[in-house]
Amino acid sequence: MRCVPRHLVSIADLERGEIVQILDRGDRYRALADEPIKKLTSLRGRTVINMFFESSTRTRTSFEIAAKRLSAEAINIGGAATSTSKGETLLDTAENLEAMYPDAIVVRHSFGGAAAMLARAARCAVINAGDGQHEHPTQALLDAATIRRAKGGVEGLEVAIVGDIAHSRVARSNILCLAKLGARVRLVAPWTLIPRGIEEIGGEETRARVRIATRLEAGLDGADVVMMLRVQHERFAGEAPRFPNTRELSRTFGLSERSLRFAKADAIVMHPGPINRGVELSPEVADGPRAVILQQVSWGVAIRMAVLERAILGDLPAEGERA
């Protein structure tokens, strides 16, 4: 097997065809989750280090499960358990880990640019599991997989991304991914939570497909997909207030059964998690029939299996061999 490590730092690294390849492979691995034996052998003998310097429930666990389902060794380190707490730089930490010859490093860090910095220095593949408010590419891929399954495709859909766009790496990766797949994206929030020029992040591709709505009703009108985001309070340090208080934001931009009526009758509701129930999303909607939030989590494992294979093997293998 050819061994060409491929980093995944940003959705911008991927051509449309590569995204579709990952989604197609993800379809196959999503089906594997329903089998009693879920293990394949394509990454047997390989080592994946999950290096998480920010908290995570879904991403970290699903990367570990994904690696193990492909028979790779998965090692988890992060936060206070690493020598960064003794003053070691992130780059030094990564170089020391690389000296142990892993095949891939999966990294989450509060610094937007952490994954790119490691990718420039690393010999092994580096996968961005969320860097500050920059990007979360595997989240966008699993979101695309979820939409594709629920709606039969992504092209031509109207997708509303609602909430704290300003601090959201999920929003940035989704704008790039959805535009590449031919969807139209509305960014729905008060002006203070929409960074100036965000519709240009993917150049002409996103400029033509992204529009901004500063009222929930207008933003949801005719939407096929409603993707809610939580307020990322952890990234507000040192900023001037962007809205009077969370209760007011919730009243004007929160999704309830009533405000969901603005969207199409068959619109699906998504959320990357963690949800702040009763803030951006009412419990009735979060647990209701239109929500595909737990399906997103299931797709996370399948898509991350495909991403790990691509990163380590250079190409997706023709057929996953059963363990």
Which positions from 264 through 303 interact with ligand CP, judged by CB under 6 A?
Answer: 272-274
Instruction: Please confirm, yes or no, whether 58 is among the known catalytic residues.
Output: yes
Segment contacting ligand CP by CB under 6 A, of 3-11, 29-37, 55-63, 69-77: 55-63
What gap in Å lies between CA 21 and CA 11, rounded to an integer?
A: 14
Instruction: Please confirm, yes or no, whether 86 is among the known catalytic residues.
Output: yes
* Length of the chain counted residue by residue: 323
Indicate the DSSP class of residue 44: T
What gap in Å lies between CA 286 and CA 295, rounded to an integer?
A: 12
Q: Which of 28, 39, 58, 242 binds ligand CP (CB under 6 A)?
A: 58
What gap in Å lies between CA 104 and CA 117, rounded to an integer?
A: 15
In the block, which residue shows the tokens 């990294």? 107
How many residues touch ligand CP under the rule CB under 6 A: the total is: 10
Burial class (CB in 10 A: 0-12, 13-18, 19+), 167: buried
Burial class (CB in 10 A: 0-12, 13-18, 19+), 28: middle
Catalytic pick among 59, 84, 138, 146: 59
- Check binding of 235 to ligand CP (CB under 6 A): no
- Cβ contacts of residue 288 below 8 Å, gap of 6+? 257, 269
Which positions from 111 through 130 interact with ligand CP, judged by CB under 6 A?
Answer: 130
Q: In angstroms, what is the minimal distance from the CB of 312 to ligand CP?
A: 21
For ligand CP, the closer CB: 59 or 84: 59
Q: In angstroms, what is the minimal distance from the CB of 65 to ligand CP?
A: 13
- Check binding of 174 to ligand CP (CB under 6 A): no
Catalytic pick among 7, 136, 167, 304: 136
For ligand CP, the closer CB: 202 or 272: 272
Q: In angstroms, what is the minimal distance from the CB of 36 to ligand CP?
A: 27
Q: Which of 47, 56, 146, 174 binds ligand CP (CB under 6 A)?
A: 56
Q: State the binding string over 130-159 for ligand CP (x if CB under 6 A, else -).
A: x-----x--x--------------------
- Check binding of 173 to ligand CP (CB under 6 A): no
- Check binding of 110 to ligand CP (CB under 6 A): no
Catalytic pick among 58, 68, 149, 242: 58
Residue 238 region by backbone torsions, left for phi larger than 0, else alpha for psi between -120 and 50, else beta? left
Give me the DSSP letters along 257-303.
HHHHTTS-TT-EEE--S---BTTTB-HHHHTSTTB-HHHHHHHHHHH
Q: In angstroms, what is the minimal distance from the CB of 57 to ligand CP?
A: 4
- Check binding of 320 to ligand CP (CB under 6 A): no
Instruction: Please confirm, yes or no, whether 136 is among the known catalytic residues.
Output: yes
CB burial string 109-135: b at 16+ within 10 A, e below: beebebbbbbbeebebbbbbbbbbbbb
CA angle 156, 151, 20 (to 5 degrees): 70
- Check binding of 57 to ligand CP (CB under 6 A): yes
Q: Which residues are catalytic?
A: 58-59, 86, 108, 136
In the complex, which residues of this chain contact ligand CP (CB under 6 A)?
A: 56-59, 130, 136, 139, 272-274
